[in-house]
Each structure stands twice: as C-alpha cells, then as structure tokens.
Structure 1
Amino acid sequence: MHHPTPAIVAQEAVRRLPRWALIAVCLAYVLPGYIGRAPWKNADIASFGYMLALEHAPWSAWLHPTLEGLSPDTSALLPYWLGALALQWAPAWVAPDFAARVPFMLLLVFTLAATWYATYYLARHPGAQPVAFAFGGEAQPAEYARTLADASLLALIATLGLAQLSHETTPALAQLACATLFYFGLAGLQFRPWSAWIAIAVGLPGLALSGAPTTALIWAGLTLFGLVIAPAEEIGGSERWRTLLLLGLITAATAVLSVWADLLRWQITLPARESDWRALARLFLWFTWPVWPLVLWTLWRWRHQLLQIRRHRHLGLPVMMALVPVTTTVFTNASDRALLVALPALATLAAFALPTFRRSMASLIDWFTVLFFTLWAIVIWVVWLSLHTGVPAKPAANVARLAPGFEPVFQWPAFVAALATTLAWFALARWRTGRHRTALWKSLVLPASGATLCWLLLMTLWLPALDYARSFAPQMAQITRIIGHPACVETMGLSTPQLVGTRFHGGWPTRVLDSGAPQCPWLLVDVDARAAFNATPHAGDWELVQSVRRPTDDNDTLLVYRHKALR
C-alpha cells in the first residue's frame, strides 16, 4: 500500500541559512580544542606518542608502530601515519603536538562537509520529497535538500558525544571521517558518481586502516546485499552490475588490506551485569543527545516508508550506517568510540524529523535549549570568575580541592573570544525566540550554537585548569625540579601515556630497565610496579628520592629513584 510522505513543507520554510553563519558556527566548533592545549590522557597523548615514534623511524616500522615495545591499544595505521607525516612536514617553529593535530582538524572538517553532502543527496531522493500542494507553493527539491543538509550539520555539531572525541588525535576521529566519506559516497552515487566512487574508494580502506576493518566489511556487505535486492526502477540492470562490480572490488581490496596489515580483530562481549546495561543505556542517552529524540520521531513519522525501505534510500542508508556501530557498541563493549561513527547517520535521520514538526514542538525545543545551554554557560563563567576574583568563594574552593596546586592564569585572547561568543549566543537566543517566519533549520540553530558556545567556553576559560587536570605537564614539571635534565632516564612499569608524558613534557630520552647494567642515573617506576622492581637483582643499587603524583589522580604516581653509583 502506498502511503504519502509525512513531510509537508512550504517554499518559505526552506529559506537559505546564511553561509557565513554556518561557516562561523563550524569554525567556532572546530578550532577550540585543537589550539593552545596540551595532549591529554589517555588515548590522546598515547596516540601522539606513536606519531612521535614514527617520525624518525624507518619505513619498515610504519607497519607495526610501537613505543618501547608497546603496541597501540587500537590496531590502526592511518591515524599514526597522518600524525607522523605532519610532524615531518611541519616547520621547526610549530609545536609538535599542534603539528600532529592539523590533519585531525582537517578530518573533522571533512566529516562535517561529508555529512552535509550525504544528507543533501539523500534529501534529493524522490521518496524524501515533501507533499506536492494542489495549487503549488511546496518546497522545491534543491532548496528542500539544502535546508535538510544544513539541519543535519547543525544536528551533528549539537550532539554531545562528538565534542571531545572529535578534537583528539586518536584513531576514533580517523574512523569517523572515513566512515562519513563512505556514507557520502553511497548517498551521492546517483548524482555525483565520480566524486562518490572516489569517496568510497578512500573511505572504505581508510576505515579499515583506522582500526575498524570489521565495521567497514559489514557495511560493504550490507550495501552489496542492498544493491542486489534494490527495485529495478531504483537502479537499472547494467548500472546495478557495474556498481556491484566496483564496490565488490573495493570491498575485496579492503579485506586483503586488513588481513595483510593484521588489523582484523573481533570479539563478542555482552554486558554481563545489570549495572553494565544501565551504563550502556546512559551512554546512549547522553552521547547522542539531543539527536536521539529526533531520530525516534523520524522513525515514527516515516514508519510507513520504513516498511518499504528498499524504495526509500533516504531512510534505508542512514539506518544501515547507524545500526552497525550501535550494534557494535552493544555486542563488543566498545563504548563511546564505536558509537561515534553512528553520529553522522543519526544526524541525517534527525534532520528528516523537521519537516514533520508542529510549531509547538519547535518552540519547546527552542525554550529548552535556551535554558539548558544558558545555564551551563553561566556555570562556566561563574567558576572562572571565582578562580580569578574569589567571588563566589565556593567554586574556587572546589577547584582547589580537585586540582591542588593549580594557579589560574588570565589570558586576554581567551577572555575576548569567550565574551564575544557569549554575547553572540544571547543575541541569537533573543532572535530565535522572537516572532519570525518558520524555517526548518531554525529548530537546530540553538542546539548547535549552544553546544558550540559551551565547548568554546570550556576550551578558553577553563583550558588552563583542564590542562592542569588532564595532562602530564604538572607532574613532569615536579620531576624536572628533582632530576634536572639528565641525558636519559630509566623506566619500569610505565603505561604508554606515562611514557609519552615523560618524553614529551620532561624531554628526557627513556629506556626500559632490564636485567643488564643501568645506563641512566635516574629511574622512574610506576607505583603499581614497586613490588616487581624490588624483586629485581639490581634494586639495591637504587635509592628512592621521592614519590610524585599527578595532582588530580593518585593512581598516576611515579617513584623517582637515583642510582647510587651513577651520579
């Protein structure tokens, strides 16, 4: 049975969102978090360490990145290659940690752009078009598609789970970018075949090289199956077989590449306890907020079209792209980093909720968003004022308790950027909650702008405190005051993040303590490895000088030993 589309959209509702405003939101979201901060524990600084290790390593070592014999937690190659190449090409005056972030900044930009274009092409699909009015006046296909693409980009930026992981130099962001390229390629095959095939040919192998080969192969297999069962009017005979052949070749090449590089890993681990299921539910609720209520609304309002999903690519493709990482998150205990690659597809589904909204629901979203993000912005400003003026006293006391030894630093550029963004937020909130003609994208302007506001405030006003709390710099500064600048330092029991922190922030070459004669006058031992160190045959040759903890974490405590003979 044929059901009419639930989208009822007039031409006036697809008025163009100014490009300068969209670009400004994107820049305000992308740049903070990449500029001016130190590498954070744990995944961020660990990945950075493998990039540093590859920078001067022979090409043969690039297939098996290691650091002091330790392999990465994620079996990936591409993100470490990108960072190492950026370090090699960067001028000497560029800080290494910033140089390594540059390709990841571009990956985030590609993700945002690919999400926009994927939604645009899906919205051009005949099954996605709004109801045609009897006397005309319905939204034109191109303007309608552009408006939904703008909305999907705003929805992606508004998603809470994207903020931190998209600003780290980790395989998770490379997976997100490659997955979104593949998504864009599938969505644009009908409209831009050359660009689409390039995106597929880059995205699918790139996803495998970024540490998610199983996800890449499952997506490819489901796509091949979808092409086989697609209706004849959707894709013709010769075109169908040509598409199957090309995608089959890319899939086979991805599989061979994954096996050759030894990247395939798979395990099925369901949450074992009730608390695990509750934690998983909380992850889904906050990580995909505020997109998931809109996705549920889309699935409900387009439910009749979902029953004919083969004929409605604008629903079938994003559902497939979201369902695989959602399932992976549940069945592999992969947590938020697996769920991250579902966000672009979920943003597309969220955009298709907007043509079915009533005005009362849009107003509810607006007022809730204004209150939610304004409250958090006030909290961030109050804590900052407390740190710098002592008024009110309670927030500063809490920071002193959580981060002992932290001294606030006033930074004029950060203050100006935070103040200008806050004023822009209040102006936007006043404009949006006033009386204006309806445009579909308006319901997501405030969520995206609010998320951008809070992220920018955190990365400006709170950045010194966050760096102090989440980096190894304060701990290494304390150790430097003890040991100075020796030619090298022995280590034992240090994790990969601790090793990288020692090398990068301390500036000391390190070597793992072995059974042979020590070569360095100083030794750093993780507190958990103290018993193992005491059992070594040369433990008596070292004297304990001091234990140094990371100010915000008792578990990151290093024992500083000095060799009795090597002075």
Structure 2
Amino acid sequence: MHDSHSTPARLTATATTKLPRLPLLALGLVYILAGLFFRDPWKTDDVAGLATMLTALEDGWHAWLLPKIGNMAYAQNGPLITWVGAFCIWLFSPLFELFTTPLEATLLASRLPNLLWFGIITGSVWYGTYLLGRRPEPQPLALPFGGEPTVRDYGRMIADAALLLILATVGIIWRLHETSEVPALIAFQALAFYAVARMLDHPLSGAITLGIALGAAFLTRGWIGSLPIILAVPCLFIPRSALWPAKHWLIISAVLAIVLGLLWWIPAKNFSTYWIHNWWLWNLTSFGMPQYQAVLGVLRDLPWFLWPTWPFALLAIWRWRTWLFAPHIWIPLMFLLWPFIIMLFLADAFEPEYSLMAVPAAVLAAFALPTLRRGVVNSLDWFAVMCFSLACATVWLGWIALQAGWPEQISHNIARQTRGYEAFISWSAVAMALLGTLAWIAIVRWRLHTKPAALWRGTVLSACGIVLTWLLLVTLWLPALDYVRSYREVSSHLTQALHTHQRPGECVRGLSLGTGQRASFLVFNDLRFSYSAECTLVLQQTSPDAVQAGLADFAPNSVVLWEGKRGADRREMFRLLRLDSR
C-alpha cells in the first residue's frame, strides 16, 4: 500500500469544523420545495410522466403494468415512476381536494415522490461519501506536531462537501422538480454508489441494497438507466480493488435485480406483446455506433450541465492519480466513466443521460478540496460570490424590465419571448424573493467578516448561490414561465371548441400530435385522441408557416372548426378539422 506521505491531502483540524446541521437541512428543503408545487406541468418529460400516472388511475391495472398516455402506449421508460406517482395521487389528492381544485390537488400529489427521490439522493451521497472519507486511504498527511483532523471529522467534512456540491450542480436542479424518470434515475444511481461503498465493511446489506438499486433503475428507464451501473460494478470488483474480497456477494445483487425485473417483465409480456415489442425497439434503437455530431453535442453540453463539479472531479483524478485504485477515487470514477461511455453510443443523449454523471462528479469533486491550497480555495470563494451575485442581479433586473418596461432593450427582448403575456405582481412571491436575496447578502457578509477556515465554506457559497438563483426564478418568474411552457390555456380553448362542434359518439383523431401535447391535453382536460381512421374530427398539430404556405392542408373537403396556440409560441399551432364523411 502507498506511503501515507504520498497523500495529496493537506488539512488541519480547524478546516474540518462541523457544518451546522440546521442550516444544511434548511438549504436542502428550500432547494427541493422551491418550484416543486403551485406550477403547471411543462412539456415534455414533466407532463408525460404525470399523464402516465393519471392514465393508470383511470384505465385500471393494465395501465399500471404498461405505461400509457391516454390511448398511446408510452414504451420509453419502465413503470416505476408511474406506480409511485399514481399511488401518491390516489392516496393524497382526496386530502388536498379539501383545500383546492381537483386538478391542483392532483398536481400537488403527483410531485410528492420528488421528495422521496431527493431524500434518497442526498442520503446516499452523504453516507456513501462518509463511508469512503473515513477509510485510511484518503486521510490527510499527519502533521509533525499534531493538529490534523480526526477520521470522523474528516469523513463528515468530505460528505458535507459532496452533498453541497450535488446541490450546486447546475444541470439537475430543474430536472429534480419534474414528474419524470430523471429524479428517480439519479436516486437509484446514488443508491447504487452508496451500496458499493457499504459493501466495503458490510457486504451483505450493501449487496442487497445494490440489487434493489439496479432493479429499480431498470424499472425506471430500462437498459439506458441500468446499463451504466451494470457495467460499472464488475470494474469495481477487480483484484486491485479493496472490494475484491466481497465479490462473491454480488450473486445476491444479481439475483435480486433479475427477480425485480422479471416480476414486472413476465406479466407485462404475457399481457401485451405489442407494448413489450415497442419497449424493446425503443431500447435497441437508442444505441448505435458513435456519431461525430452526437459526440460533439455531448462534449458541448456536459460542461455546463455538470458545472461546477466537473473541473474539481478531473482535478481529484489527477491529484490522487497514485491512489487511483483506492475506493474513494475508483468507486466514483467508475460510476462517472461508464455513463459517459454509454452516452457516446446513444443516438440521442441528453439531460436524462447526463444526469447519471452528477452524483459521481460531486463525490470526486469533494475529494479534490483537501488537495487545494488555501489561496486557490479563497479565489474560488470569491468567484462563487461574484458569479451568483451577478446571476441574482440579472434575474431581478429582468423581472423589473418585465414589470416596468425598463431598461427598454431588455424589456423588448423579454416581450418577444412572452408575447401576449400580461405582467402582474404576486406580492407573496416578491416577499420570498426578497427574503432569499437578504439571506444571500447575509451569507456573503458572513464570508467577508468571519473569514472561516472550514473547507466547506466554498461549497456552501456555491450551493446557496444556485439555490437562491433558482428561488428567484420560481418566485418572480413563475407566472411568465407557466405562460410560456404550459398548455393549460390552449387546452381549455380546445375543450370549449369540442363542446361546440363534437357530435354525440364522434371520436377525435390526433394528427402529428406530439407526446408532450397529448399528455398536456390529457392532464388539463382529460382529452384523449383516437388512432382510428374512421374519426371525422381531427386535431392537427402544425405551424403558422405551414398553414400560410398551404402545407398543412390535410384533406380537400376538410373544414377548419377551430385554430389555437399558446400565446408566446410562434412555431406551433393546433387546428380542429372536420372531414367530409361522404
């Protein structure tokens, strides 16, 4: 084993001063609660997940087994988020209906699972990193006259830093507030990371947890969700790894994961070979040989999605390069590397796939912190202060321009994106935004005046900065965001048009209707669209340019009964047509 003098970590006991638990808990609650409730579902993943839950409740057990959006088979994911979300709606929406409308009660209940997923993510990241941080390999250099941190304090400091860094990760904050597969996918990957760390000292409980995490990842997003974990695990149990003695416990993990998958797969296959065929087709066609443009897209998007953790993750790999096979580097490295490799072979990799890199990047970044010099840490502190202060000022300035029309150029640019929106002020939202801003000023003042020695200070600034920016966006800007991204209004207008024009027993067929649009019309007004060619009413999704050029004409004798679109959308519109039934 390596000589302890080769460790790159240099730390004193004062740098591992305990971070108070109450502020950490408050920060986590603000993070997940802000923007989770009291907003409309937005297309596509957010509203599609909710639509599968509602369809399951309305259509019975077969829609629980095989996720659907109304009449459309939604064979892109597994059924797990549908199960959990539908159960929460069934259990809690009657309670919420005592205080609000049935639709709002459903929206509130559907987002309760996000609290569960967030709890699994934060708990797994903290405890998994703590288990790695208290091992002998990552301990800092022993000082000649003492004063180095205790093993417990050092592990807790690293775990706190990893938790704050996952909160500070820019790309996942929006996604963790969706009723989609993404929060669950991150949760089960974080659980798999914790399980592997647990197997270092408690192989049985770790193996059971790993099997559950792997099976749940498969039930959440099929092979795309589970393959990165499946490929990472064998690489973790190589002979040079500290996990090698626990390798035989993986049999329990494998059996448990397979059983969980088959408990759904067998009845699903027996009930609908069509749905399962589409599910297999979607999984298989998602993979292919790497394409130049797709790889460039991944390399372009990942740096902003994983900001600010990825530079520190790379730095950790470099600084601990002589300890590469030590568990605190090798375990998060494999969980980081395999999602990236899988992404290169995906035809359309985007944020759901990027999100699998967030947890291991945060853990690796945390182990880079003890290797940094004090001057570098101070510079990063000031960068966080300036960056997020500027971001918050920008959000406030944009809101003032939206409300007051000044500065004129900014107001003009915002008006182009929110055409038709009538600005109004919600004083309760403004009060919350002001409280958040004052809290940020207090944190900056604390950093200026107390000059804390604790190594977690920079991660606190980054996490608080991103949470404040998010809080301002979902308080000051939520009505405008709902206007731009929600289908509530156009769905209501379509429902009125159908009440006027639809004859008794007449079905409506969807033409070129996207998944997000189908899901939105189902969620807001319970509208379902048939695939039958016998339908004489057709809802067509097209664009104003296509209509103007005559490219949207569907049938020579069709009559346009209604046209509508979202107020700010210049590229999408809907037409309700009646076909000549002769």
Could you tell me the TM-score, scaled by structure 1's length?
A: 0.89
- Cα distance in 2 for partners of 1:291, 1:218 equals 20
2:174 to 154, 159, 164: 164
CA apart distance, 1:470: 0.8
Partner SS state of residue 512, structure 1: coil
Alignment gaps of 5+ in structure 2: 98-103, 269-275
* Structure 1 letter corresponding to 2:298: L
In structure 2, what is the equivalent of residue 177 of structure 1? Answer: 187
Cα contact 2:11–2:141 (8 A) shared by 1: yes
Q: 1:15 to 1:517 in 2, by over 3 A?
A: closer
In structure 2, what is the equivalent of residue 139 of structure 1? Answer: 149
- Correspondence 1:149-548 to 2 at 5 A: 149-191=159-201, 196-213=206-223, 216-217=226-227, 219-220=229-230, 222-224=232-234, 226-227=236-237, 229-230=239-240, 234=242, 240-241=247-248, 243-253=249-259, 256=262, 260=266, 262=276, 265-266=283-284, 267-270=286-289, 272-273=291-292, 275-306=293-324, 309=325, 312-332=326-346, 333-479=348-494, 482=497, 490-493=508-511, 494-505=513-524, 507-512=525-530, 514-516=532-534, 518=536, 523-527=538-542, 540=557, 543-548=559-564
Partner SS state of residue 210, structure 1: helix
* Structure 2 letter corresponding to 1:80: T
- Cα distance in 2 for partners of 1:236, 1:386 equals 60
- Cα distance in 2 for partners of 1:284, 1:221 equals 21
Cα contact 1:525–1:558 (8 A) shared by 2: yes
- Give per-residue Cα distances to partners, 1:293-331, cap 9 Å, x unaligned: 11111111111111xx1xx11111101111111112222
Cα contact 1:366–1:433 (8 A) shared by 2: no
1:555 to 567, 571, 575: 571
- Give per-residue Cα distances to partners, 1:406-439, cap 9 Å, x unaligned: 1123212211111101111111112224452411
Q: Which moved more, 1:246-255 or 1:2-11?
A: 246-255
CA apart distance, 1:127: 0.7
- Cα distance in 2 for partners of 1:60, 1:513 equals 19
- Cα distance in 2 for partners of 1:183, 1:383 equals 40
In structure 1, what is the equivalent of residue 16 of structure 2? Answer: 14
CA apart distance, 1:139: 0.8
- Give per-residue Cα distances to partners, 1:4-29, cap 9 Å, x unaligned: 21111111111010111111111111
In structure 2, what is the equivalent of residue 88 of structure 1? Answer: 90
Matched, 1:74 2:76: yes
- Cα distance in 2 for partners of 1:315, 1:555 equals 47
- Cα distance in 1 for partners of 2:147, 2:394 equals 46
Count of aligned residue pairs for this structure pair: 549
- Cα distance in 2 for partners of 1:222, 1:410 equals 50
Q: 1:36 to 1:187 in 2, by over 3 A?
A: same
RMSD: 2.8
* Structure 1 letter corresponding to 2:422: E
Partner SS state of residue 561, structure 1: strand
Cα contact 1:220–1:251 (8 A) shared by 2: no
CA apart distance, 1:337: 1.1
Q: 1:498 to 1:352 in 2, by over 3 A?
A: same
Q: Which moved more, 1:161-170 or 1:212-221?
A: 212-221
Cα contact 1:288–1:343 (8 A) shared by 2: yes
CA apart distance, 1:134: 2.9
Amino-acid identity (%): 31
Cα contact 1:217–1:254 (8 A) shared by 2: no
- Give per-residue Cα distances to partners, 1:198-256, cap 9 Å, x unaligned: 5323211100000143553553454245435256xx4686x553x23323423543665
Alignment gaps of 5+ in structure 1: none
Q: 1:28 to 1:246 in 2, by over 3 A?
A: same
- Cα distance in 1 for partners of 2:355, 2:222 equals 12
- Cα distance in 2 for partners of 1:554, 1:39 equals 20
Could you tell me the TM-score, scaled by structure 2's length?
A: 0.87
CA apart distance, 1:370: 1.2
- Cα distance in 2 for partners of 1:225, 1:483 equals 58
Q: Which moved more, 1:243-252 or 1:325-334?
A: 243-252
CA apart distance, 1:108: 1.7
* Structure 2 letter corresponding to 1:543: V
Q: Which moved more, 1:551-560 or 1:354-363?
A: 551-560
